Structure 1
Amino acid sequence: MFSQNSELIWQGRSHVGDEPGVYGDASYAGLSLELPVTLRKIDAAGDDSVVLVLRTESVQTFAGYPGHLVTVIAHQTSAGDPTHSTETELTAVRLTTADGGSKDVAVDLDGIASPAHLSVRVRVDTEVPPGLYDDFVVLGLSLRSADHAYVAELGFSA
């Protein structure tokens, strides 16, 4: 069972969109933001599913458009060459006005070795015509893990 308690991975104010300066109190990231995260399994018998919780402010999407893309990617080193890694998309969901400032992103880590090096990418909906792209703020990223089987940290670590 998933705990209602979340482990904070990152918190801040990063402005994603096409109009720099709209949010003077936030760092401007441009059209996308990507956060590197290391997840460690601390309970070998625990569930391989986690939920990453993305908190946002001022997301406004237009009807008829899919919304902003949130993608979780695994970065895995190859057994034959540990100096290179491959990217595998684990999940992709859409962030819309209806999410109300918080988006749960379920991630299945079955087959992903611990520590798992993931990145969480938030990209503005670019199906909307340029000049009408939404500007919003990413506030934080947290982890919810069944029975606290995983712990998280910002950045990639061994």
Structure 2
Amino acid sequence: MANHPYYLVWSGSLNMGDTPGVFTDAQFVGLILQIPITITYLSDETAPAQFLLTTTEVEIFNQKTHPVYWDWTPGTALPTPVGHIDDTEFVPGKPEFHQLSIPRTELTLGKHWLTILVNAEIPAGLRDDFILKRIEAHNSIGAKIGW
């Protein structure tokens, strides 16, 4: 796609949720996933930096989306989410794209955390299980998985 301004940072198959073994083609990770990300380049733009997550099998119960956080430290209050994983269809026939928007004031070169949290307001057993397939970064930043 010529107009796709994102590049691949990670691809795989991680099962988020509360039911191990639902997806035989994915590694079960549970209700929370923290991914270390290193920012290696920042353009001079002032607009928020963007990441694009691709998932499969997302279903939302009672409008309870799954929040995604930037630089959250366990044991501290949750910050404002930088995006959500839900079942909204942004691209017809492709409901599995989720855009994250990181304010430039929160984006520096170096080590960061991207945290995906399965919504805990949904009773156990009813939590949506889904698969994280890809993480892409906008070409206005340089990003890699790990430190």
TM above 0.5: yes
Does the 8 Å contact 2:52/2:137 carry over to 1? yes
- The answer as to 2:126 corresponding to 1:132 is yes
Is the radius of gyration larger for structure 1 or structure 2?
1
Picking from 105, 110, 116, the partner of 2:105 is 110
1:49: how far off?
2.5
Shift of 1:125: 1.3
Q: Partner of 1:151 in structure 2? A: 142
TM-score (norm 2): 0.81
Q: Structure 1 residues 108, 42: closer, same or farther in 2, change over 3 A?
A: closer
State the TM-score, normalizing by the size of structure 1: 0.76
2:14 partner SS = strand
Summarize deviations over 1:12-48 as a string: whole Å, max 9, x none. 00000111111111001011112111112254x3446
Q: Once superposed, what is the RMSD of the aligned Cα atoms? A: 2.5
- Match for residue 83 of structure 2? 93
Are residues 1:120 and 2:114 paired?
A: yes
> Who is 1:79 aligned against?
none
Contact 1:65 1:127 in 2 (8 A): no
How much has 1:65 moved relative to structure 2? 3.5
Aligned length: 138
In the alignment, the residues of structure 2 paired with residue 74 and residue 114 of structure 1 have an alpha-carbon distance, to the nearest angstrom, of: 17
1:29 and 1:38 mapped to 2: Cα distance? 21
